[in-house]
Amino acid sequence: MRLIIAEKPSLARAIAEGLTGSVRRDEGALYAGDTVITWCLGHLLEQAPPDAYDPAYKQWRLDHLPILPAQWKLTPRPKARGQLAVIRRLLKQAGEVVHAGDPDREGQLLVQEVIEHLGWKGPVSRLLISDLNRPAVQRALARIEDNARYQPLYRAAESRARADWLYGINLTRAWTLTGRQAGHDGVLSVGRVQTPVLGLVVRRDAEIRDFIPRPFFTLWVDLAVPHGQLRAWWQPGEQHPLDDQGRLLTREPAAALAERLPGAEGELTALESRDKRQAAPLPYSLSALQVDAARRFGLSAKAVLDICQRLYERHKLITYPRSDCRYLPQDHLSSARATLERACQADATLAQWLAGADFSLRSRAWNDKQVGAHHALAPTGKPAELSRLEKAEADVFRLIARNVLAQFYPPLVTREVKAEFMILGERFRARGQEILAPGWKPLFTTRDEAPPLPPLSEGERCRVEQTGVEDRETRPPEPFTDASLIKAMMNIARYVDEPAVRRTLRDSDGLGTEATRAGIIETLLQRGYLVRQGKTLRATRLGSALIASLPEAATRPERTALWEQRLAAIAEQGDDPTAFVAALIEDLRHLLSGADAERLRHSLASARGEETAPPGEATRRRRSTTSRRGGNAGTRRRPPRRRSST
């Protein structure tokens, strides 16, 4: 008997539909001839709690830390025992096992850890499915591989799970216990990824709070030129008070010049014109889709992930959604026209975009070298009756289809013009853009572009028609939204201060993964560290206090981003995970040494707006008081005992 173990029931049903012959269901499995398909229900197993290693760890104590398992253990999730029993029974009857987890790091771990936990010693094959429609499933069934090829991916996922356990269990216990000493009654959760993400928001909020607006002044002129009118802006020279961005800091020079300008004539002294060709945006990865959907439709990152899962599993309209790739396999190009015609024909908007596509074109999106275990999000080719979907589902599907359709549109061609005028011995600049060929642009926006400059020739004369001085202020950075926070997590190198570290971070590195970023934001909201204010995400007082109390290294993205690099090296290059875990434990010991009740007490009080002495000064005061009293002034109140929680 061949046993196929799918990641979830929807995938098991799709596999069964891809097999020939009749299918029957019985006791947690589907039977199709000599093939049986069963399934996990997400993760059936989880890392065992600390007290599984030593009963003493059930009580939270600082002197237990760090907790470092010598032999790692997994335990069934609360509602998983029934399905585990089904898989155990079927394994005893199987001659071959096929691993059919999702095509990513977590999917590799989820099924393989069950196979190993249940003691299977026979051969294991790997079935990779990214499209649940029957033809795609049948193609995947014809390309089953040896699971040994994916062992590095499994080791990386296993290392990630163990790292998260070590980091989360030890630091959460340390800061929760320290918090009790500081008077905080509750769990203070610290995570390898969630805490640096919270740190991003806390620091952005602090920049906004501490921002002091600075006034600056601009002077514009409306100029009459031989073939029309345009607006130009004064470029004050270094003899005037300027900031580091060349902005004028006092109004008087602009006001004085404005009085002299009306009716003045000048000359166009420099003219630069450049044509630009811009290819269509690539098809979506999940994170890129979450960013665009948040901006266009106000959808949270989790809402977009949930919608994509429904479009993939329930409606079978899109390919595997939890992808970090923005490229498509070259062998999909030959069937792209038929796929898109079937997917787009039932929707007026998509049909209109489809009619403008030129399928003789080939974009840079079709690139096997950029495709790993999974490819960009794309329609499967199943006819999409968008009127029968929820509005948000239809909106997201149109985005996914649009970005693939755009690969069959010509480039956007624009002409950028920069003009410099001399008037009364002062320089004025104007910029304009003209669309020469709209290409793919109409699929993405219907907004009118800024009007181009009129035809210009170097040396021609101009005359000032109107002028004005504008009083402006520098603005603080914008608070994070779902879109900008997901983008920050994707492009974390921008938030790294150390140049050497920044150079080592590739554009593809980031905090979290495509599958976890939305969940990280939701976790921070649920734990009371973040709050939504309209579309913005702001840190709560508790979230700010936690970040202030932690060692800075635990709140910044450098360490976690570099860890993701090391995990990628384990998955892609077969690096030894032992070195990764050893380095993590060394970091962990250093971070635990930074747990300080006084610092946390000060952080919590500051977050509540209370004035307290700095931590070092408070310590000196207590020592001085104790000395004057001739010893201990009393016994410290013992913190209340709490139930174990991670």
Predicted local distance difference test score (pLDDT) of residue 561: 74
Output the average pLDDT for the chain: 89
CATH number of the domain located at residue range(s) 2-156 in this protein? 3.40.50.140
Predicted local distance difference test score (pLDDT) of residue 542: 94
From 57, 154, 167, 320, active-site residue:
320
Predicted local distance difference test score (pLDDT) of residue 524: 96
For residue 75, pLDDT beyond 90: yes
Please, where in the chain does CATH 3.40.50.140 lie?
Answer: 2-156
186 within 8 A of 527, measured Cβ to Cβ: no
For residue 624, pLDDT beyond 50: no
Strand 2-6, strand 96-100: pairing: parallel
User: What are 337-365's pLDDT values in tens digits?
Assistant: 999 999 999 999 999 999 999 999 999 99
CATH number of the domain located at residue range(s) 159-209+478-620 in this protein? 1.10.460.10
Predicted local distance difference test score (pLDDT) of residue 523: 95
For residue 633, pLDDT beyond 50: no
CB environment 53-85: b (16+ within 10 A), e (fewer): beeebeebeeebbbbebeeeebebeeebeebbe
Predicted local distance difference test score (pLDDT) of residue 458: 96
Predicted local distance difference test score (pLDDT) of residue 513: 80
Predicted local distance difference test score (pLDDT) of residue 236: 96
Distance CA 451, CA 428 (A): 19
CA distances from 64 to 308, 338, 596 (A): 43, 62, 16
Can you read off the two tokens belonging to residue 452?
Answer: 């181009």
For residue 646, pLDDT beyond 80: no
Predicted local distance difference test score (pLDDT) of residue 632: 36
pLDDT class for 35, splitting at 50, 70, 90?
very high
Q: Give residue 484's Cα distance to chain centre.
A: 9
Maximum mean pLDDT: which of 20-29, 96-105, 231-240, 515-524: 231-240
Please, where in the chain does CATH 1.10.460.10 lie?
Answer: 159-209+478-620
Nearest CA-CA partner of 585 in 321, 192, 262, 284: 192
pLDDT class for 620, splitting at 50, 70, 90?
very low
Predicted local distance difference test score (pLDDT) of residue 15: 94
Mean pLDDT on 30-36: 93
Q: Would the pTM count as exceeding 0.95?
A: no
CA distances from 427 to 77, 268, 270, 424, 462 (A): 71, 10, 10, 9, 13
Query: Is 286-408 in CATH node 3.55.40.20?
Result: no
> Is residue 31 among the annotated active site residues?
no
For residue 639, pLDDT beyond 50: no
Please, where in the chain does CATH 2.70.20.10 lie?
Answer: 215-279+412-473
For residue 616, pLDDT beyond 70: no
Distance CA 368, CA 376 (A): 11
Mean pLDDT on 73-82: 92
User: What are 201-222's pLDDT values in tens digits?
Assistant: 999 999 999 999 999 999 999 9
CATH topology of domain 215-279+412-473: Topoisomerase I; domain 3 (2.70.20)
Predicted local distance difference test score (pLDDT) of residue 643: 35
pLDDT class for 373, splitting at 50, 70, 90?
low
Is the Cα torsion angle 127, 128, 131, 136 positive or negative in sign? negative
Owner of token pair 């989880």: 46
Task: Return the H-helix or E-strand segment holding 311.
Answer: helix 301-313
For residue 316, pLDDT beyond 70: yes
Distance CA 624, CA 626 (A): 5
Distance CA 367, CA 110 (A): 29
192 within 8 A of 560, measured Cβ to Cβ: yes
pLDDT class for 505, splitting at 50, 70, 90?
low
